[in-house]
Each structure stands twice: as structure tokens, then as C-alpha cells.
Structure 1
Amino acid sequence: MNDIKVFLAHAIQLEYEAARRYEELKAAMTTYGNKEAASFFGRMAEFSRMHLKDAMARGGFHNLPKMADDEWEWPDGVSPEQAAWAGMDGLTDVPTAMRLALDGEERSQLFYAAIVAATTDPEVRRMAKEFAAEEAEHVAELEQLMRKLAA
């Protein structure tokens, strides 16, 4: 991926999907009565919306970018968020929710890392490194919460 606008369109779509999924997980955890997990997923949804707004501002987008299906450069043909959340339903329990969230963050981190490795555009590489680092932080936060909830 060597075009900053295309890169940012992918980042925007990924963060949009992540925010939606985290809101769904927050609602599920509220139903299960797990306030700590619900609060965590609410914060993650807010981070995703913040990253979404930042990516839109960086690219000068006023609306969510529209691309044809064949223009998206997703691994396996779907965004990392869609692939990760395929197993979610209204009965998702806390451990499953955590595993799904971790999978989404790991897939997103790997997506950005792959762009860092493959791009020839220095601006895309710089942003992809930044975004990969943010996703790695989310992975670490999720792993920490998972250990705490398992104890």
C-alpha cells in the first residue's frame, strides 16, 4: 500500500468497525453484569472513535471513505476487525469477548506491521508504524485485563 489516502481509508474503516464491535461488547458485558469488562470495552470504543477522527482529519475526509469491494487491500479479503469478530453473538460471555477483542487487536497490529514491511512510501510507513504501535498497546492492555479477570 503506497498511497496515503488509501492507507487512511483502510485505517478509518478498521477503526469504524472496531468502535461498533466494542460498543456491542460493552452492551454484552453490561448484560452479564461485568462492570469492569463493560467499562474497558467502552474505553476501547472511545479510543477507536478517537483514532477514526484522527485518521479522517489526517486524510482530509469529511465522511467515511467509500471504496469498491475490489479496492480494499485486506488480508484474506476482509478487514482485520470483520475477521476477528465473526464468532460474536448476543450470548458472548466474558472470556469469549476477551478472546475476540484480543484477536481483533492482534490482527489489526499485524495488518499495520505488514504495511510497514511492504510499503515504499515513507509517509505510509511512518503512520503504519504509529498505528501498529497503538494496536500493540491495546493487545497489552487486553492481555493484562484477561489475566486480572482470570485470577
Structure 2
Amino acid sequence: MHDAALFLAHACVLEEDAANRFSDLTEAMKTYGNQEVAAFFGQMAKFSRLHLADARARAGFRTLPELKPEEFQWPDGESPESASMEGSHYLMTVEYALELALDSEKRGQAFYAEVAKTTTDSEVRMMAEEFAAEEAEHVAQLEVWIARHPKHA
């Protein structure tokens, strides 16, 4: 990806997907009565909305391309942070929700890191490196929470 507007179009969709996913997990944890983890996911949704606002602000003077779903350059054909919520149900455990979120954040971080590694555009590289670092912080936070909620035997 060698164009800043194209990169930002991807970043906006990725971060919006992350915010939506964390909001969904927040509501699921509230429904399941786990207020502590619901609050954590609420904070993660807030961070994703901040990243979305940052991407939109960086795009402020640019016209971002309006991409059709098949025009996005996602590694697996869909946004890295559009985690499936099909496993979300009344029996969903905190551990499962955290693993689901961790997997998505790792995919988001890997996407940004790969863009930073492969782009020939210095502006795209700088933004992708910054976004990858932010996602790495999310991964680290989730790993701390996972350590606090070990899987039950």
C-alpha cells in the first residue's frame, strides 16, 4: 500500500470495526453480568474510537477513496479487526471474550506492521508504524487481562 489516502481509508474501516466489536463485547459482558470485563471492553472501544478519530483527522485534507468490499487490500479478504461474534452467547466466558479480542488486535497489529514493512511511501510507513505500535499496546493490555482470568480446567 503506497498511497496515504488508501491507507487511511483502510485504517478508518479497521478502527471502526474494532470499536464496534469492543462495543458488542461490552454489551455481551454486561448481559452476562461481568461488569469488570464490560468496563475493560468499554475502554478498549473508546481507544478504538480515538484511533478512528485520529485516522479521520489525518485524512482531513484528503479525499479518501470509497472502496467496495472487494477493493480493500485485507490479508484474509476481510478487515483484520472484524472478529466474528458468532461465538458470543449466554455461555460465553470472560476468557473466550478476551481471546477473541486478543486475536483481533493481533491481526490489526500485523496488518499495520506489514504495511509499514512493505510500503514505499514514507508517510504511509510512519502512520502504519504508529498504528502498529498502538495495536501492540492493546495486545499487551489484553495479555495482562488474560493472565488475570486464566482458563478454567
List 4+ stretches of structure 1 deviating above 3 A: 61-65
Q: What is the letter of the counterpart of residue 3 of structure 1? A: D
**TM-score calculated relative to the size of structure 1:** 0.91
| Secondary structure of residue in 2 paired with 1:80 | coil
| Secondary structure of residue in 1 paired with 2:84 | helix
Conserved 8 A contact 1:9-1:65:
yes
Q: What is the letter of the counterpart of residue 56 of structure 2? A: M
Q: What is the letter of the counterpart of residue 146 of structure 2? A: M
2:89 is aligned to 90
- Please report the RMSD computed on the Cα atoms of aligned residues, expressed in angstroms: 2.1
Conserved 8 A contact 2:5-2:65:
no
Q: What is the letter of the counterpart of residue 132 of structure 1? A: A
Higher relative helix content: 1
Determine what percentage of the aligned residue pairs are the same residue: 54
| Compared CA separation, residues 39 and 62, structure 1 to 2 (3 A) | farther
| Compared CA separation, residues 27 and 65, structure 1 to 2 (3 A) | farther
1:99 is aligned to 99
**2:41 corresponds to 1:41:** yes
| Compared CA separation, residues 106 and 54, structure 1 to 2 (3 A) | same
| Secondary structure of residue in 2 paired with 1:85 | coil
2:120 is aligned to 120
Q: How does 1:1-12 map to 2 (within 5 A)?
A: 1-12=1-12
Any stretches of 5+ residues in structure 1 without a counterpart?
none
More divergent stretch after superposition (107-116 vs 32-41): 32-41
| Compared CA separation, residues 22 and 62, structure 1 to 2 (3 A) | farther
Shift of 1:72: 0.6
Q: What is the letter of the counterpart of residue 98 of structure 1? A: L
| Compared CA separation, residues 98 and 105, structure 1 to 2 (3 A) | same
